[in-house]
Amino acid sequence: MVALLFLFLGIVMDKSESFSLTVSIITPVFNSEKYLLDTITSVQEQTYPNWEMLITDDCSTDGSIELIQKIADKDARIKLLKLDTNSGSGVARNTSIEASTGDVIAFIDSDDLWDSDFLEKSLSFMEKKKAGIVFSSYRRFSENLEESLGEFVVPEYTDYSMMLKSCAISCLTGMYHVERCGGKVYLPKIRKRQDYCIWLALLKHVDKAYGIKDVLATYRVRSNSVSRNKFKTAQYQWRVYRDIENLSLTKSAYYFVHYATKGLVKNFGLLGRA
């Protein structure tokens, strides 16, 4: 009986500890009016209530700003920030990170979706592991959400060396604990692959990032997505090795071979479950 009581108290304490954390949700926006409402709604419908959403607009020319402002006027947890010049998603994310006040920083782009229990499950898992970084599995759908493109089921963990070979963490599901990672970490000033770089930077502060096998989010594969241009992505991947991580030519070539091989396997549908 006493053992059961202590078990119950432990569960309650773990849950209350995770619920005491404030999550800062980072969202860059550029001409996202078509999908933005769905994204924001998926955040507002979270079962975990303690969050703020910092949306930085990168000089949109459609109705994105008006839409965000209309929602923010009714929900004080949502904050609109604006860039003076079009600077890319990396600068937009960094602007939101700088303005954030949360214990945990999470990311969602302006066309993706979280399941309603995404934050609750992720934070509970983070506290259970006492982790600095957690990430979860997600499903992939076509742009109009009519065609399933399969699930990406993440490994149990990844570390710096593993991430150089293959990126297991998506900005859609990755989050980091600010204090456990030594403070806020920002994206580097390169136009592409900055989202990948931030996880490499964070993994220099903690030994591992822990993966949640549950599928907790939906990634919308856009027809004009930068990530679909494999040649450009490969060029930036090389730049990450040489210019951002300052790896030697030999090490860069070693990791690039792993990256390219796993990318080919993934694109042919043979990878996705770890």
Residue range 199-211, pLDDT digits in tens: 999 999 999 999 9
**Which has the higher per-residue pLDDT, 99 or 225?**
99
pLDDT digit string, tens, across residues 37-87: 999 999 999 999 999 999 999 999 999 999 999 999 999 999 999 999 999
**By mean pLDDT, which of 6-10, 79-83, 102-106, 174-178 is the weakest?**
6-10
Quickly tell me which residue has 């550029």 as its tokens. 30
Tokens of 167: 């990126």
b/e 26-47 (16+ beta carbons within 10 angstroms → b): bbbbbebbebbeebbebbeebe
Range from 14-28, 65-79, 220-234, 257-271 carrying the lowest mean pLDDT:
257-271
Angstrom distance (rounded) from CA 266 to CA 167:
12
Instruction: Answer yes or no: is pLDDT of 112 > 90.
Output: yes
Residue 37 CA to residue 34 CA, distance in Å, equals: 8
Q: How far is CA 192 from CA 74, 209, 231, in A?
A: 34, 22, 13
Domains of the chain are 21-267 (3.90.550.10)
Sequential DSSP letters for 39-85: HHHHHHT-S---EEEEEEE---SSSHHHHHHHHHTT-TTEEEEE-SS
- Residue 9 pLDDT greater than 50, yes or no: no
The predicted model scores a pTM of 0.88
CA atoms in the 13 A half-sphere facing the CB of 267:
10
Q: What are phi and psi of 185, to 5 degrees?
A: -120, 135
